[in-house]
Structure 1
Amino acid sequence: MSAGVVSALVVGIVQPLLVVAGAPLLTGLMRQVRARLEGRAGAGIAQPWRDLRKLLLRKETFTPNGTTEVFRLAPLVLVATTLVVSVVVPFVATASPVPPVADLFAVVALLALGTVVLALAGLDTGTAFGGMGASREMTIIALVEPTLLVSIFALSVRVGSTNLSAIVSSTVHDPARVISPVSLLALVALAVVIVAETGRLPVDNPSTHLELTMIHEAMVLEYAGPDLALVELASAMRLTVFLGLFANLFAPWGIATSAAPLALLAGIGAVVVKVGVLGTALAFGEVFLAKLRLFRVPELLAGSFLLSLLAVAASFFLA
C-alpha cells in the first residue's frame, strides 16, 4: 500500500473524529469568550458536551402529532452530510480519502442538502414557528449557496480544478496567492457566507428564542432529547467545517502534505489553532454587533455575491 493511500485513510479517520470531538468545544469556547467580554463568568468550554450528554442520556424523544419520517430523519441526515464533508475536505492534510467527493460542487451540495432537510422538518411540524423559520432559511440559502460556489470557484480558476485539495495544495506551494485581489475579494465574500450559513450575528442570533428574530431556532423548536442533541451537534460541526475550510483556503500553512506521522500531528495542531482563533474572532465580533433587520439581510448577502462575482472576474483578467 502506497504512502499516499495510507495518508488518505488516516486522514479519513482522523478528520471526522476531530470535528465531532472538537465542534462542541469550539461552541463552548465561543460562548466563553462572549461571556468574558460581557462581564460574566461563563459556564466553561466543556458545557456544550455536558448539554449533549444530558439530552442523549436523560431526556426523551418527543415527536409532534402529524409529523412524517422527514421530521424523524432530518437530524440523522444533517449529521451524516456534515460528517461526509468532514471526511473529504482538506483539514489536516491535502490528501483526501475520496477525491471525487472533495469537489467544490459535491461539498456545497452536501451542505445545502442538510440545510434543506432541516427546513423541510420545520415545515413538517405544521407550526407557525417552524414554517416561519423554514421560509427565512430558504430565503437565506438562496443567496448564500451561489455565493459559496462562486467565491471558491474564483480560487479554482487559477488552479484549473474545482477539487478542494488541489486548491489548498496550490496555495501551499504558492503563498503569494493569498494576498492577490482574487483571494481578498473571495475572503470577504466567504466570511459573510459563513456568518449567514452558521446562523451567527448579524444575520441570526444563536442564543435567542424571540419569535420575531429567530431563524435556525424556529426550525428546531419541536425537537427534544437525542434528536435535539443530534441537531445541536450537527450545527456545531457545520460551524467547525466552515471555519476549517475557510482557514485552509486562505491560510493553509501547517497542513500536512505527506503521510509522515509528525506532519499529520502538525496538521492536526495547525487546524485546531486556526479554527480556535477564527472562532474566538467571530465571538469577539458578535459582542459588538447588533442583529440586522430581516429585510436588510438580503442586501448584505447580495453584496457578498457581488464580491464573489468580482473575484471570478479578477481571476480571469489577472491570471
Structure 2
Amino acid sequence: MAWLLNLLQILLFMAAAPLFAGWIKQLKCWSQNRRAPSLLQPYFALYKLFGKETVVAERASWVFRTAPYLIFAVAVLACAIVPLVSVHLPTSALADVIVLVGFLGLARFFQALAGLDIGTAFGGMGSSREMLIASMAEPAMLMVVFTLAVSVGTTNLAAAIETLLHQPIMVRPSFVFAALALALVAVAETGRIPVDNPATHLELTMVHEAMILEYSGHHLALIEWSAQIRTLLYAVLLANVFFPWGLAEHFSLEALGIGVAAIALKLMALSSILVLAEILLAKMRLFRYPQFLGFAYLLALLGMLIHVILEVG
C-alpha cells in the first residue's frame, strides 16, 4: 500500500507539473488583461512534441543524445523524495535535501554539457550563463538547507516536515529569512523573471532556451517536461517545508484528501505571488545576477544567525 501511494505521488507530480505551468500562464494573462490560453495547453504542446520527428545534428555526441533522458530521470527521482501529499512514504529515508540539491545539480551539469556539445554560439552562451547562475544559486540553496537543519536537527525532508507539524504554529524569524532566500533561488533556478523570461526567445537575453535550441521532437518534450517538474518541485518545497500544515501523516482517505486540497491551495497562493512579482519586476541585466543571488545567500545566512542568537541563545 505504501509503495503504491509512493508511485501515485510520483505520477501526480509528473501529471500536475504541466497543469501548474498552465495555471501560472493563465494567471499572468488575466492580470495583464490578455486572453489566456487553455489551462491544458502545456499538455497539448508536450503531446505535439512527442509526435514530431527528432532531428539530431551529425556531430552530436552521446552527451547530446542522452542528456534529455538523464535530465528527465533526475526530475522523476526528485519527485520521489519530495513529500507532496504525505510524509510517511517508503522513499522518506532518501528524502535528504542535500541529495535533492545534488540531483538538480547533476541535471544542470548535463544540460550545460548538451548546450556546449553541438558547438553553436548560442548553446555555449546559454551554458555559460547557466553555470554562472548555478555557481551562486547552489551556495544559497545549501545555506537554506543548513538553516533548516540546525532548526529541526535533520536534513531529511520528511523528518523535518514531521517535526514542524508537531510544533505549535508560530512565526520563526529564521524560517522567514530562509523561505525568502529559497524563493529567490527558485526564481533563478526555474528561469523566471527577473533572472530569465520564459516567454521570450531573444538570443541575447535567454538562458534556458539557448541551451536547447538544437533539440526537437521527444528530446525537446522531455526537457520541457523536466523544466515544468522542476518549477513544481521548488513550489512544493516552499509550500511543504515552511507551511507544512495539511500534509497527511497516515494513509486514510480523509487524510490524503486533505493533503491534496492543502497542497492545491498552497500552490495557488504561491503562483499568485509569483505572477504579481513578474508583473511588477523587469528582467535584470546579466551582470546583476551576482547581486540578486548574493542577496539570497545573505538572507539564508541571516536566518541561521538569527536562529543561533534568538532561538537557541
Q: TM-score range, shorter-chain basis?
A: over 0.9
User: How do 1:181-192 and structure 2 match up within 5 A?
Assistant: 181-192=173-184
Q: CA-to-partner distance for each residue in 1:44-100, whole Å, 9 max, x for gaps?
A: 11101001111112x110112211111111111111111111111111111132234
1:66 aligns with 2:59: yes
Contact 1:55/1:228, CA 8 A, preserved across alignment:
yes
User: How do 1:134-283 and structure 2 match up within 5 A?
Assistant: 134-177=127-170, 179-283=171-275
CA distance in 2, matches of 1:49, 1:280: 21
Following TM superposition, by how much is the alpha carbon of 1:10 offset from its aligned partner in structure 2, in angstroms? 3.7
Contact 2:98/2:145, CA 8 A, preserved across alignment:
no
Contact 2:19/2:40, CA 8 A, preserved across alignment:
yes
SS for the counterpart of 2:152 is: coil
1:113 aligns with 2:106: yes
1:313 aligns with 2:305: yes
1:33 maps to what in 2? 27
Following TM superposition, by how much is the alpha carbon of 1:272 offset from its aligned partner in structure 2, in angstroms? 2.1
Contact 1:11/1:95, CA 8 A, preserved across alignment:
no
- For structure 1, which runs of at least 5 residues remain unmatched after alignment? 1-5
Contact 1:87/1:97, CA 8 A, preserved across alignment:
no
Q: CA-to-partner distance for each residue in 1:94-119, whole Å, 9 max, x for gaps?
A: 11322342111111100111111111
Aligned residues between the structures: 311
Q: Which 4+ residue blocks in structure 1 deviate beyond 6 angstroms?
A: none
Contact 1:52/1:229, CA 8 A, preserved across alignment:
yes
- For structure 2, which runs of at least 5 residues remain unmatched after alignment? none
Contact 2:75/2:226, CA 8 A, preserved across alignment:
yes
1:3 maps to what in 2? none
Mean CA deviation greater in 100-109 or 222-231 = 100-109
The RMSD of aligned alpha carbons is: 1.3
Q: CA-to-partner distance for each residue in 1:145-196, whole Å, 9 max, x for gaps?
A: 111111122112122111011111111111435x111101101101100000
Percent identity between the two aligned chains:
42
CA distance in 2, matches of 1:84, 1:280: 28
CA distance in 2, matches of 1:287, 1:262: 38
